[in-house]
Chain A
Amino acid sequence: MGEDDESIVREFLVESLENLDQLDRDLVELETHSTNSEIINRIFRIVHTLKGTCGFLSFGKLESVSHVGENLLDNVRCGRVSVTPDIISALLSLSDVLRSLLLTVEQTGSDGEENYNTLITLLTSLNKAPGSAAAMGVSQTPGVTATDSPIVNLQHPIEEESPAEILGEEAPVDELEAVFRAERAKYQAEQQSVAKVSEQKEKSVAAVTPPATEDAKKSELTETALRVDVHLLDKLMNLVGELVLARNQILQFTKNQSDAELISTSQRLNLITSELQEGVMRTRMQPIANVWNKLPRIVRDVAHSCGKQVALEMQGKETELDKTIIEAIKDPLTHIIRNSVDHGIETPEKRLASGKAEEGRLFLRAFHEGGQVNIEIIDDGGGVHLDRVKAKGIERGLITAEQAARMTEREILNLIFLPGFSTAAKITNVSGRGVGMDVVKTNIEKIGGTVDLQSKLGEGTTLRIRIPLTLAIIPALVITSGGDRFAIPQVSLLELVRLEPEQARKGIESIRGTPVYRLRGNLLPLVHLNKLLRTEIPAGINDGTVNIVVLQADERQFGLVVDEINDTEEIVVKPLGKLFKGLTTFAGATIMGDGRVALILDVMGLAQRSNVVSDNKDRAVHETESKNKDTGSSKQAMLLFRVSDTRRMAVPLSQVARLEEFPHSAIEYSGGQQVVQYRSQIMPLISLSEVLADPRLRLVDSAQPEKQAGDTIQVIVYTSNESSIGLVVDRIMGVVEERLVVQRNIVRPGVLGSAVIEKTVTELLDVESVIRTALSGYTESTPALAA
């Protein structure tokens, strides 16, 4: 095959595949509007064109299969056969077969050896109309052109086209002709500016073919549009990135220059570069319709296979997104749609029973908002059964029953996004295999987006996705730490806080070495970038001023302490090579205005490294717990006590059985364990100062020297299953009643989190965990308590 032939075949493939996508959409539409001759004609023309071109290019197999379809469609078109769901299904499978044949052609250069007799027989048997029998199921010889087609009864004079014409045009022929006619007339009338012409074109087309406005617009587009290789666009994008960097360098340089001409030239360069950047970025923009167009077919297939009726509506098809983002959301979106139809929308009987229309409604909406794209998937189905989700969460070990009882609606809904979760009562072949929503969430977060789920039982579910427009060039905050500059993407940036030396000394508190800052009443854990990256603090610059960059990582806030905050800048993200895989603290690198390289911090990676957020599962549970206390808490009575001079702790009074004081002489030992006789029981003692001091949580044993020199020890008695345990503390401080805002940012064994109680940071004791760990070697005497 010569080079020319190859390029013809390639063009034919691209075009035909596009046409088949259109065919799928039309077929699905035909199912609801079974008498719409407009659609039927369009379908017929697609198959007819395909068949004709195949003949021309000698793809006999493709031709014979499409020929059978064409025969059936011809009869449909002339009203001899009426449209039934069976016919639609058969035609859709024809579309599938044609697609796979085209892919075979793409890979091997020929249309393969497989035979499609089943489909051919099926299509033939559906084509029951009299008079068409002669044209059925006959394998045509290769080389047949459109003019040789056995169809006589054509509404449009398709025979007149030459194969080359069919080849070159994507749009249906009659409409193109209309456009051509209109154009010719218009050009004769006046020779206007290009902009005006295209404007008029639209008008004249609308006038000639009023019923098919949408289609006319499409053919308009193909006339002014041009196919461009994606690689070329990628290259252009890279070059523009370089240009942006060079521009930044020039701007930096001219800052210190006084030459007026140089300054004005560099300003012009600045403007042109920005415009060019925007323009090139727009070439990579694609309407979301590119992804959505595949959905009607998916919705139909899924709905059919689970016996449901679903109407799909779309709004904002023209909303544009960067190509890479389009690619990235394709799979998550498909999954969500399948889920909505499979789990969301109920069966017709159920819908009727609950007073809804038989047909479910799936509504897709896309729109721009604040530099981001919102995509909403709304169904009017059964909504999420919160109790079922809870039960599933408990069953899968994602949450405990106790946690479940305290969770808010939103938190329960978010359980769906945890790995290993599936609510489907039975696993269907469509969805519900336990992989899915977590993958959806991770994929969308990977491109810097967020997913939010809202649901009302019996009324439906709304899933909202927010994603950035582009990834290549992003605004970032530049900071200095340890003498190096780093860029922080602005999406994760919340605010900047600067503390003067005096404020810093007072404002930054510490919980056992972990610094926290009270930002408007909430505890903000602080992470020192120097410490985290193990870079030294340059001498001389630290006068005690503290610069805090408040960042958001996965619904958690933390303060990054940096040496200096410099400026914001548009940066071009360059990936770090394979050599840095496993280095999660950096998202990439960029070249700064002065030509030096700066690393881009990965906020999520930083948060993970500094334990602001822990593993997925843990994180979600902690999050839900802490939020629950944030929102739903009423005032709670807390017992305050000191464990050592530095540690102020609290425990809910409801967990405390009694407060006791024992003389030192009362302490006895049983198997190396400190015990006291208490209410005719032997009560083990746990010294909190020692248990909490040691990260491994040990029991006080006799070998340890006595820390308390006083005459008595103060003990909080904790009772469970009729056995008592004594927690030895340094000093009981009293009981307060306060609304608790628990921060779980600093999690250590034995500590649930911290809260501000009486305006002082106080740690919350995790009684159960302390006892469980401390008494693990003391099972004989307290079977009920030991874990």
Chain B
Amino acid sequence: MPDDRQFCTFLVDGLYFGIEVFQVQEVIRFQEMTRVPLASPVIKGLINLRGQIVTAIDLRRGLELAERPESSLPMNVVVRTGDGVVSLLVDEIGEVASTDPATFEPPPETLRGTARTLIDGVYKLKGRLLLVLNTDKAVNVC
């Protein structure tokens, strides 16, 4: 693993995730969405990002987590992936975290479900675990 990777962090259903900063194009607040009937339920809708149409993916659904309560609006983490620009819907945005490669570990074998395929590994930070999200795979779950 390369050293000192920097992660853009966010919360999804209480879990602390990170995406490497260079993959993130921008973070924006909730946007009006146009739903796409008949598409995979993981696809929450399409947003207009300054004239560009971007697909919004609900990470809670992608990770098979509990549905987001109606009252809270998701944030958009806009990432560049192999399939173009995609927005990941998350609960809350955290800070940019610097990591120490010595604290990295692959995901535990006992982790099952889609989460197993979407999480590249874990950084043991002080007091909490940072889960490294594989954006390309996250986009492909739908």
Contact = CB atoms under 8 A, between A and B. Distances in A.
Interface string B98-142: 000000000000000000000000000000000000000001001
B53 interface: yes
Contacts of B84: 577-578
Contacts of A534: 37-38
A591 B48 contact: yes
Contact of A484 (B34, B38, B47): B34
A583 B38 contact: yes
Nearest to B47: A597
B43 interface: yes
B142 A579 contact: yes
A374 B81 CA distance: 42
10 contacts: A242-B51, A533-B37, A534-B38, A576-B36, A576-B53, A579-B39, A580-B55, A583-B38, A583-B39, A589-B34
Contacts of A585: 37-38
A579 B48 contact: no
Contacts of A576: 36, 53, 55
B134 to A, nearest CB: 16
B36 A591 contact: no
Interface string B39-75: 1100101111001010100000000000000000000
B40 to A, nearest CB: 8
A162 interface: no
Contacts of A580: 36, 39, 43, 55
A579 B32 contact: no
A245 interface: yes
Contacts of A574: 53
Contacts of B34: 484, 589, 596-599
Nearest to A580: B39
A535 B53 contact: no
B35 interface: yes
Contacts of A598: 34
Interface residues of A, number: 24
Contacts of B55: 576-577, 579-580
Nearest to A241: B51
A533 B36 CA distance: 9
A597 B54 CA distance: 10
B83 interface: yes
Output the residue of A484, A577, A583, A595 with the most chain B CB within 10 A: A577
Contacts of B32: 596
A685 to B, nearest CB: 44
Which of A533, A574, A580 is packed against the most chain B CB atoms within 10 Å? A580
Nearest to B45: A597
A482 interface: yes
How big is chain B's contact interface, by range? 20 to 34
Interface string A233-268: 000000000100110000000000000000000000
Interface string B15-48: 0000000000000000011111111100101111
A214 B36 CA distance: 54
A484 B39 CA distance: 15
A533 B48 contact: no
Chain A CB within 10 A, most for which of B38, B39, B40, B142: B38
A578 B53 CA distance: 13
Nearest to B35: A484
Contacts of B46: 589, 597, 599
A586 interface: yes
Interface string A150-183: 0000000000000000000000000000000000
A421 to B, nearest CB: 34
Contacts of A533: 37-38
A597 B51 contact: no
Contact of A577 (B35, B51, B83): B83
Q: Is the interface of A mostly helix, strand, loop or mixed?
A: mixed
- Top 3 A-B pairs ranked by shortest CB distance? A533-B37, A597-B34, A597-B46
Contacts of B45: 597
Interface of A: 242, 245-246, 482, 484, 533-535, 574, 576-580, 583, 585-586, 589, 591, 595-599
Contacts of B37: 482, 484, 533-535, 585
A597 B38 contact: no
Given A578-B84, A579-B43, A589-B53, A597 B142 contact: no
Given A580-B55, A585-B37, A597-B45, 13 more contacts: A484-B37, A534-B37, A576-B53, A577-B84, A579-B83, A579-B142, A580-B43, A583-B38, A595-B48, A597-B33, A597-B34, A597-B47, A599-B34
B83 A578 contact: yes
Contacts of A599: 34, 36, 46
Nearest to A485: B34
B81 to A, nearest CB: 10
A609 to B, nearest CB: 9
A597 B39 contact: no
A444 B84 CA distance: 28
B100 to A, nearest CB: 35
A599 B53 CA distance: 11
A482 B46 CA distance: 16
A715 B43 CA distance: 56
B18 to A, nearest CB: 23
Contacts of A589: 34, 46, 53
Nearest to B32: A596
A37 B46 CA distance: 64
Contacts of B39: 579-580, 583
Contacts of A484: 34-35, 37
Nearest to B82: A578
A242 B36 CA distance: 22
Nearest to A578: B83
A646 to B, nearest CB: 31
A578 B39 CA distance: 12
Nearest to B40: A579
Nearest to A483: B35
Contacts of A246: 51
A591 B35 contact: no
Contacts of B83: 577-579
A589 B55 CA distance: 11
B53 A579 contact: no
A490 to B, nearest CB: 21
A242 B49 CA distance: 12
A591 B38 contact: no
A33 B43 CA distance: 65
A583 B39 CA distance: 7
Nearest to A239: B51
A591 B139 contact: no
Nearest to A530: B37
Nearest to B33: A597
A598 B38 CA distance: 15
B122 to A, nearest CB: 27
B99 to A, nearest CB: 30
A591 B43 contact: no
Contacts of B47: 597
Contacts of A482: 37
A599 B36 CA distance: 8
Contacts of A597: 33-34, 45-48, 53
B48 A586 contact: no
A482 to B, nearest CB: 7
Given A577-B84, A578-B84, A586 B36 contact: yes
Nearest to B142: A579
A535 B37 CA distance: 7
A583 B51 contact: no
B98 to A, nearest CB: 32
Contacts of B43: 579-580
A24 to B, nearest CB: 41
A585 B38 CA distance: 9
A583 B47 CA distance: 18
A583 B53 CA distance: 17
A305 to B, nearest CB: 46
A160 B32 CA distance: 69
Nearest to A591: B48
A509 to B, nearest CB: 27
